Structure formats: C-alpha cells, structure tokens
Structure 1
Amino acid sequence: MEPQKVTVAGRDRRQSTTLVWVAAPLLALGAAWLPLEAAARGLSLGPWIVPLLVSVGFAVLVWLLRAATAPAAAIGLVICLALAEPRQAGAKINAAALTALVTLFVLTFAATRFGRANKELKKLAERRGGRRASQIVANLGVAALCAAMGWHGGCIAALAEAAADTVSSEIGQAIGGRAWMITTGRRVQTGTDGGISVAGTVAGVIAASVVVGAGGIGGALAAPQALLVFVAACAGLAFDSVLGATVERRGWLGNDLVNFSSTLFAALIVVVWVLI
C-alpha cells in the first residue's frame, strides 16, 4: 500500500475510534436517562421491559445474520433501546421509531447483498464480517440522540438519510452505469467518493420515503412534518455526496465522520425548523 494511503487509512481509523469513544457514552446515557429518572422517583421500571427485550432480540438477530460485529451489535442494542423507549404515557413502546429502524435495517441489508458478486469483483463490497461499531454509530447515533431528546422528526430524518445513503451507494455500485461528480458534473468511476448515479439516487430517495412513511405510523408525523422530514433526508443525502467530493477525497474526514455529519445535517434541518 502506498505511504499516502496508509496515512489516510490510519487517520480514518483514529477518527472512527474517537467517534465511538465520544458518542457511545452519550448514547448509553440517552438510553438510560428515562429509566434512571423513573427509578430515582420510585416509579416502576415495567414500561422499559418490552423495549429492552425487543432491543436485545434485535441486536442478537443482527449479529446472527452477520450484519454487524459483536461490538457493533452491542452498540446497536443501546441505540435500539433509545429509539424503542415509550415517549407517551401508557405506551409500551415507541412503535413509530422502532418501525423506522427495522425498515432501515431491512432496506440496507437487502441493498448490501444486492449484486454482491459484481461489487466484490470491483472491490466495493461491504466486508462479510458485518458493520463495525463505528459504522453503527456513524449511521444511527444521531437518530438515537434525537430520540432521547424527544425530537421524533429529527430522529426519523437521520434514519431516512442513513437508509438513503447506504441504499444509493449499494445499488449504484451494483448496477454500475454512468456516475458524475456532484461538485463538477464530470464523469467518474462508480464508487468514487462524491460520485452520484441516476440508479443510486433514485433508489436512495425511494428508501428515504419508505423510512419516513414507517416513522409516521399511528400519526407520529403529520403530513406537513413528514414532507419536511423527507426533504431533510434528501438534503442530507446530497450533503453526504458533497462531503465525499471535497473533504473525504482530500483525506480530511473519513467515511464514518462523513456519514455522521450527513445524518446530523438532516436532523438539524428538521429540529431547527420546528424550533424556529
């Protein structure tokens, strides 16, 4: 491996490790805050039994399917718990957020395996051992933090952007075809950071709409808010490509930080809009 590539790879690993060490405690605190508060007030912890069991089951399933490593599945458990915790009195689980998370998993799991042989020939396929802990934090961490804060719209926007980003990349790489650099419009090879294709973009937008729909079940998102969340997710998808074409290609940010920044961008659009 060339010295420059070694340096960039090392920088990416350091950034990813830092992201996990900074975000993991915040995610754990976010998931534990409500039950700890309830325990401190002498209230029953019964409402958290179902979310905990569901989260453990989801983490085990993800690990058995080899969609994530054991450490990644453990962080996924914490994230799932943060999303699944009931936010309304009398509710047993946050069905809308949990449905959106499961929908994201199904879409990305299928997209990752679609055309895998072709992607392996191009050396673009996802590693067979499953996603690493840093990838889980990068894609789902913002959604979990938004859920812990009670910002459902921001949570779903982050999940929708993460789904759109993964699906667009995986489908675009599998199908191939023409790709263009988002900042210059020049033709680039499929899989190039910042490169976009028609097939990948369409697939990503569809994935975002499906996750937003899942996150709005039971009236969790009114029609105007659902539209805002969808637009924010698509904006985050475009922002991810811009970051890929600029700071990632220059080696300033690794893919995990780019993904984290893009989900944060999508979530902030919704949160800031609602607050204003």
Structure 2
Amino acid sequence: MARPKLLWQSKTVLLLVFPFVGADIVLETRWWATQMPVVAVWTLSLSILLGLVAFKVRSATAGAALAGAAITASLMFGTVSFPYMPWRTGLVPMLVLLVMTSLATRAGRKRKEGLGTAESKRGRAASQVAANLGVAALVSNQFVQSWMIEQGLVHGRFAPTPVFILGMAALAEAAADTVSSELGQVLSGHPRMITTFRKAEPGTDGAISVGGTIAGIAAAGIVAAAGAWALNGGWPMLAMSWGAGVFGLFFDSLLGATLERHGWINNDAVNFLSTASAAGFALGFLAVMANR
C-alpha cells in the first residue's frame, strides 16, 4: 500500500498515463472503424474480455480491470500488422504477463499472509496497473513510432517491428518485477539488500533473493519471447527486450533500497520509473546500433 502522504504520486502516474491512453484509443478506434473495421472490433472486444477475466479471477479491481483493458487496446492498436491477425499484436505478451503474474501472486499465499506481504484479495488497483503497464502503452503509440523513424532509430536489421521493442522492454520488466517479488518470498528464505548484501526481512524494499531473481529473469524472458513471436520480431527483439527488462528489474530494487526506503517515493512511482528505465535502456541500445 502506498503511504498516505505519497498517494499524490500514484495519482500523478494515473494522470500521466490514462488521458494519453484514452485519447489514443478514441483516435485509433475512429480511424480503424472507417478504414478497416475488423481491427477496431477485435481490439476492443478482446481488450474488454481480458479486463473482465482479470476482474473475474480477482487479479484486479473493477477500476484496474478497466485500466488494463484500455492499455491492452492501446498496445494492440500500436502493433497492427498485415495481414491482420489479433494474435499477432501486443495482446499476446499482455496475456502471458497477466497469467504469470496472477499465478505468482497466488503462490504461497498463506506464507505471504503470515508475513503481511500478500496482495489484496480484491486484486491490484488502477494505479498499480498504470505504474506497471502504462509506460509500455506510452512508448508504443503511433506518435512515438513516427518519432523513432524520423530519428533514424529504426534499423532494417530489427524489422519488421523494432518500434515495439521499447514497449516489450517495459512489459518484460513489469513481469520480472512482479514475479521476482511474489515468488522470492516463496522460493527463498531471507533476502539480501541489493546495496549492502545484508540479510533483510521478506518484503523489505530493495531486498533481493536468488530464487526470486532467477524467477524474475525467467519471467522477463518468457514475456519477451511471447512478444517476439507475436510480432515476428525474431531474436533481436527477444534479446533486447529481455536484456532491458532484466536491467529494469535491478534498477527497481535499487530504487526500492534507496528512495523508497527513505520515504521519498512510493511503490507506484518505483514501478513506473523502473519500466521507464527498461524502455530507456532499449532505446539507448537502438540508438547505438543505428549509429554504427
């Protein structure tokens, strides 16, 4: 739970993400409805269905389910390719992420309840969804894609979908962070602080464990592989988004051990900045490769 005095940070994350995502969905729906209605129909239908499933299995509150559906729709619109197939869009990595994080959250629930670190039985809140998935939507829209092309960051070597590498990196980090945190409490004993390597209590901000870290790295790889397959991104997309996701995972722990432990930022801010760092890492790698 966010500290009461830092709730403004969670609200800020919501305001950064959803006005933009909402506008993107409206514009994209209007355009596709006139140009190729099947895209609009499949995108909205499947996004809403995914949100309803998340709510039904109590992975998300009603507000969070709506937020997740909106982000999914934005990602699907941003990854349309031809011939059009809805399972060849950002829907696939989002679905894989939802399944993995839901299972990880439920694993060892009794132990987590005893430690006081269990997720609410109502599921994640809208601010948590925005913090974990918002960056992926923000960097995968048509405006960012156009900017990347104009800046020469889209190299033919990474075709056909290099512009989604940033979004995939953010999704990979979100999966890695959640899975490592949830399974680390089950697979390992006392974690250690990433800054001092001293033992800490499970659930301590900035504490990492071998089991949790391995699980998180694996989760990032699975989401990256799902996205690379769905978008025909091949090994370049898999490698870059996976590596960037792992970078973001450790950056998340570093923020937790420093700024969050001092009470300067809350968990939603940590998650938002960590997914942004993963996207930034991928962008930096693309820039280096484009200048070779």
TM (normalized to structure 2)? Answer: 0.86
Residue 249 (structure 1) aligned with residue 261 (structure 2): yes
Equivalences for residues 229-244 of structure 1 within 5 A: 229-244=241-256
Q: Of 80, 87, 106, which aligns to 1:87?
A: 80
Q: Does 1:68 align with 2:60?
A: yes
Query: Where do 5+ consecutive residues of structure 2 fail to align?
Result: 146-162
Displacement of 1:108 in angstroms is 0.4
Give yes or no for the alignment of 1:121 onto 2:114.
yes
Q: 2:177 aligns with which of 165, 181, 184?
A: 165
- Is 1:34 the counterpart of 2:28? The answer is yes
Q: How many residues align?
A: 268
Give 1:11's aligned residue: 5
- Paired residue for 1:20, among 14, 33, 38? 14
Out of 197, 201, 210, the position equivalent to 2:213 is: 201
Tell me the equivalent position of 2:92. 99
* Cα pair distance change 1:38/1:113, threshold 3 Å: closer
Distance of aligned partners of 1:226 and 1:176 in 2 relative to their CA distance in 1, 3 Å threshold: closer
Q: Does 1:142 align with 2:135?
A: yes
Give the one of 255, 267, 271 matched to 2:279.
267
Counterpart-to-counterpart distance in 2, 1:267 and 1:231: 11
| Post-superposition CA distance 1:189-219 (Å, at most 9, x none) | 1111000000100000111111111011156
**Residues in 2 aligned to 1:225 and 1:110: alpha-carbon distance in whole angstroms:** 26
User: Which stretch has the larger CA shift, 30-39 or 122-131?
Assistant: 30-39
Q: Which amino acid in structure 2 is aligned with residue 148 of structure 1?
A: N
Number of the residue aligned with 1:133: 126
Equivalent-residue separation in structure 2 for 1:218 and 1:119 (angstroms): 34
- The 1-side partners of 2:265 and 2:202 are apart by 20
In the alignment, structure 1 segments of 5+ residues that lack a partner are none
C-alpha contact 1:12 1:255 (8 A) present in aligned 2: no
Tell me which stretches of 4 or more aligned residues in structure 1 moved more than 6 Å: none
Question: Identity of aligned pairs, percent?
Answer: 39
Report if the CA contact (8 A) 1:55-1:80 is conserved. yes
For residues 90-127 of structure 1, what are the alpha-carbon distances to aligned partners after superposition, in whole Å with 9 as ceiling and x for unaligned?
Answer: 31436242111111011100000000000001101001
* In 1: Cα distance, 2:217 partner to 2:114 partner: 26
- 1:54 and 2:46 are equivalent in the alignment: yes
Q: Which amino acid aligns with 1:35?
A: T
Secondary structure of 1:191's match? coil
Q: Deviations over 1:47-68 (max 9, x none)?
A: 2101111011111111111111
**Does the C-alpha gap of structure 1 residues 32 and 268 become closer, same or farther in structure 2, counting only changes over 3 Å?**
farther
**Is the 2:224–2:237 contact (alpha carbons within 8 Å) kept by the matching residues of 1?**
no
1:136 counterpart letter in structure 2: V
CA distance in 1: counterparts of 2:62 and 2:89, whole angstroms: 26
- What RMSD in Å do the two structures reach over aligned CA positions? 1.8
Pairing 1:179–2:191 present: yes
Aligned to 1:215: 227
Give the alignment's TM-score, normalised by structure 1. Answer: 0.91
Q: Are 2:172 and 2:221, in contact at CA under 8 Å, matched by a contact in 1?
A: yes
Letter in 1 for 2:167: C
